[in-house]
Amino acid sequence: MRFASCFVLVALVFGSVLPARAADPPQWALALHGGAGTISRDMDPALVASYRASLGAGLETGKKILARGGTSLEAVEAVVRFFEDDSLFNAGRGAVYTHEGTHELDAAIMDGSTLACGAVAAVTTVRNPVTLARLVMQKSRHVFLVGAGAESFGRSAGVDFVDPHYFDTRHRWEQLQKALEKDEYGTVGCVALDRHGNLAAATSTGGLTNKRFGRVGDVPILGAGTYANNRSCAVSGTGIGEQFIRHTVARDVAALMEYKGLGLEEAATLVVFTKLERGDGGLVAVSRTGEIAMVFNSTGMYRAAADSRGRSEVAIWEE
């Protein structure tokens, strides 16, 4: 007994004979994206700086909420609203033009703690579609509202409306003129884990440049471009929406974790690089233990991430 006591004492003093303690998981974590696709490294340096500054500002918006104990739902809505008000990104103020020269906006949000969710599509005068999506989730018995009906609900719920020309920007108009040769796409999104252990995801988009026939992509389709579940992870995708719908990308990542026991990075990489085709896009995700994954198979993806352990990064291309 005396020798055992001495061994314990030595172990306590020197520590080296005891197994190393694994690092504690982060108390909160956050990842966001501003779209993925063919992003040229020859982009004007001033524009690159603008994108990095906006991504950094969006990241700070979410960090402040999570650091003070706010919920993941609050954080993802606030971050996506920030990008919806920034004309650099294809959501809200910076939404691309349809073939007819108008704007049709889609958004979704999901609470991983309850699986409550809300989505809207083809709205034309709602300033912040992500907020309307959250109201659909919290103030109605529905999940998905479209077009004029979604806007009618928005008026009863008191969201901010704007004149359709609010969404007009010269940059996007020039994109429409070029889109006769090639469609362009983009999205903004955010995923978060809060101090309470809850996950949330939100995504918003103006869709494809030159889109026609009431086309709707993956963003407002829960399980395709947006998904959150406390049992696994929260995911927000960006890229060619039809592909994300076909492969139920967001839910697939979560299912691989939940049913096959894969880690977040492994699950995200498997889906993005084996189910999607090269150039289809990417995703950001956060697991229930605070892991962060930002995976894409396109030239670049506007993205940023942070957690309570001090991680903080902004990137566009593979660094």
- Report the catalytic residues: 187
Instruction: Pull the structure tokens for residue 193.
Output: 């884990």
Considering Cα of 263, then 111, then 56, then 164, what sign does the dihedral take?
positive
Going by C-beta distance under 8 Å and a sequence separation of 6 or more, which residues neighbour residue 244? 217, 218, 224, 225, 237, 250, 276, 280, 281
- The DSSP line for 134-149 is HHHHHHSS-SEEEHHH
d(CA 270, CA 206): 28
d(CA 184, CA 257): 32
d(CA 210, CA 175): 9
- The DSSP line for 202-224 is EEEE---TTB-TT---STTSBTT
